Amino acid sequence: MKKILFFLPLLGLFSCQEVLVEKPKAVAVETFYNTASEVEAAVNAAYAQLRALNGISGQLGAQLEAYTDYSYGRGSYQVLSDFQGLNSTNIPRTDEGWRLFYLTIRNANLVIQNAPKGTSISQADVAKYVAEAKYLRAFAYFWLVRNWGGVPIRTEAQLSEPNVKRNTAEEVYTLIVNDLKEAETTLPEKGAQVGRATKWAAKAALAEVYFTRNQYAEARDKADEIIKSNAFSLVPVTTAAEFDTKIFGPTVVTSTEEIWYLKQTRQNDQGMYLAMFAHHPGSKLHGAGGFYAHYSDTETNPNMKNWDAKDLRKSAFWYSWDIGLGKNSILCKKFSDPLAPNQTAAGNDFPVYRYADILLLYAEAASRAGNGPTQAAVDALNQVHRRAYGQNPTTASSVDFKLADFTATTFNDLVLKERGYETQYEAKRWLDLKRLGTPKLKEIIKAATGKDVADKHLFWPIPVAELNYNTALAPIDQNPGY
C-alpha cells in the first residue's frame, strides 16, 4: 500500500491563518523553528497547498485541461473550450488557485526567514530546508506568472506587509531563477522521502523556466545535465496496460522516470482530485464515479483522428464512452483508480517533472538553439517514441525518426506533437502552447477546434479580493478583459 511519509496535513498546530498570520511570535517564531524536525514540518506546510483539491492536481488542473487542442470541457468547463475567457463560475476557481499559491509562498517565506534563527539545528540542515522552501516558492511563482502575468512579489522581507505592488513578469522570473539556482546547488540528489524536492527537481524546473522564456540553449544544457547524470530512465512497457501498472497507476510508489511528483494517496483530501474529472461513473475506472468533465472525439478532433493506433499511448490514455454526444466520444483514463474510496482520494501521483518530459524538452530546445535538429535531439525524441510503441527505449527500432528527414520547422512541430501526446492530462499542454507565442497558440487551437482564442483568455483575472484589500494595487492592474 502506498503511503505518504510527510505530506499529511500536519501543521494543524499551525492553523496557518490563525497562528502564522495573526500570532506569529506566539508559536511559529519563538517555539517552532528551533529543531530540524520542526523546520521540516514547516516546509511540509508549503507542500500541502500544491496538493490541495483546488490546486494543480485537482480543480486548477481541470481548468487547464479544458483549454487543450486534444480535448474539450463539458458542463461548467464547456465555456472554457470556447477560449473567450472565464465566466462567473470559473473565476472563483482560479481565485482559489491564486490563494493556494500565495499560501505556499507564505509558508515557504516563514521557513526562509526563521530557520536560520533556530537554536538547535545544524547549519547544513538550515541550508537544506531553506533551499527546499525556495524551490517551492519558485514553483508557486512560476505557476502564477504563467497564468496571471506579473504578480505581487512577496518574500520573507515582506511577511507583515499586506500591501505589495504588482511586479513585472521579468521581476518575477528573476526571483524564480535565483531561488531555483540556490535550490539546485544546495538540495540533495535524493530526498529523505520520495516526493521531496531534490537537486534534479531544481534542474528540471530551471530547464522548464528557460524553455518557457525561449532561452533554448540554457534549457537544452540544463536538461542535458539531467540526461547525462544517468539518474533517471524511461520505464519500458510492452502493452498499453503497463502504462497504468508501471507508470501512472494508483499503486505505483515511484519509478525510474520520476523526477518530482506531487505524491497522493487513498485518504480523504489526500488523493489526486483531477482523476475524478476524467471518468464516467459507468466505466468503474474511478471508485467514486466521475464527472467526465473532459472528453474528446475520434472523428472530429484531428489530434485523435490522426493519432496512429499502433501508438500504445492512444489506448492506454483514452477509452470509448458515449456521453450522449455519439459513439465517437472518448474519455481520458491516464489516471484511473477503481478503488478510490471517494472523489478526493484517488491514489495516482501527479507528475510534475518526469524523464519523458525532460527528454522531449531537450529535443526541442536543442533543435531551436541550433537552428535545426541534432542527432542527440533526435535520439532523445526516439527514446520516448520507442517506448510509446512498446519498444526498448534505449535500443534502435524500426519506429525511429531519422535526422536527415527533418528541417528545423518540421522537427520542432514533431516534438511539439509528441509532447502533446505524452503529457496529456498533466496540465501542461496549454502552457506549452503559450510559450510559443500568441500567434502560434491561436493557430494551433484554430486548426484543432475551429475556434478563435480571445486575448482575454490568455491570462486569468487578478482576484477581486486582492484588488480590494491590497491597496498597492489599482484597477489598472487588472488583466485585460476583466
| CA–CA dist 95, 328 (Å, integer) | 35
- Confidence label for 32 from pLDDT (cuts 50, 70 and 90): confident
pLDDT of 13: 29
Average pLDDT over residues 375-404: 98
pLDDT for residue 74 is more than 50: yes
Instruction: Assess contact for 272 and 264: CB atoms under 8 A.
Output: yes
| CA–CA dist 303, 298 (Å, integer) | 8
pLDDT of 11: 37
pLDDT of 2: 65
For the chain, percent of residues with pLDDT exceeding 70: 94
For the chain, percent of residues with pLDDT exceeding 90: 93
Q: 10 Å Cβ neighbour count for 22? A: 9
Average pLDDT over residues 276-293: 98
Bridge partner residues of 73 (DSSP): 294
Please report the DSSP string for 260-300 in residue order.
EEE---SSTTTS-GGGGGT--GGG-SBTT-----EEEETTT
pLDDT, one tens digit per residue, over 330-342 is 999 999 999 999 9
Give the largest CA-CA distance in the chain. 67
Give residues with Cβ within 8 angstroms of 279, minimum separation 6.
Answer: 285, 286, 289, 290, 291, 292, 331, 333, 336
pLDDT for residue 1 is more than 60: no
pLDDT for residue 7 is more than 80: no
pLDDT for residue 277 is more than 70: yes
Q: What is the dihedral of CA 453, 141, 128, 37, to 10 degrees?
A: -100
pLDDT of 3: 54
- Confidence label for 20 from pLDDT (cuts 50, 70 and 90): very low
Q: How far apart are the first and last CA of the chain?
A: 46
Where are the chain's structural domains?
Answer: 23-187, 273-332
Average pLDDT over the chain reads: 93
Average pLDDT over residues 9-34: 42
pLDDT of 17: 31
Residue type, 403: L
pLDDT, one tens digit per residue, over 164-202 is 999 999 999 999 999 999 999 999 999 999 999 999 999
- Confidence label for 31 from pLDDT (cuts 50, 70 and 90): low
Which is it for strands 294-297 and 329-332: parallel, antiparallel or unpaired? Answer: antiparallel
Please report the DSSP string for 406-471 in residue order.
--HHHHHHHHHHHHHHHTTTSS-HHHHHHTT-HHHHHHHHHHHHS-PPPGGGSSPPPPHHHHHH-T
Residue type, 443: E
* Dihedral pair phi/psi, residue 68, rounded to 5°: -85, 170
* Dihedral pair phi/psi, residue 330, rounded to 5°: -135, 150
pLDDT, one tens digit per residue, over 45-57 is 999 999 999 999 9
Give residues with Cβ within 8 angstroms of 150, minimum separation 6.
Answer: 166, 167, 168, 169, 170, 171, 172
Average pLDDT over residues 7-26: 32
The grid coordinates listed for 16 are: 496557518
Residue type, 361: L
Q: 10 Å Cβ neighbour count for 327? A: 10
pLDDT, one tens digit per residue, over 134-168 is 999 999 999 999 999 999 999 999 998 999 999 99
Instruction: Assess contact for 195 and 263: CB atoms under 8 A.
Output: yes
Q: 10 Å Cβ neighbour count for 371? A: 9
Instruction: Assess contact for 348 and 245: CB atoms under 8 A.
Output: no
CA distances from 347 to 7, 49, 273, 306, 369 (A): 14, 17, 9, 32, 39
Grid-cell match 531563477, residue found: 177
pLDDT for residue 231 is more than 80: yes
Looking at residue 80, what DSSP letter applies? Answer: G
pLDDT for residue 125 is more than 90: yes
Average pLDDT over residues 246-270: 96
CATH number of 23-187: 1.25.40.890
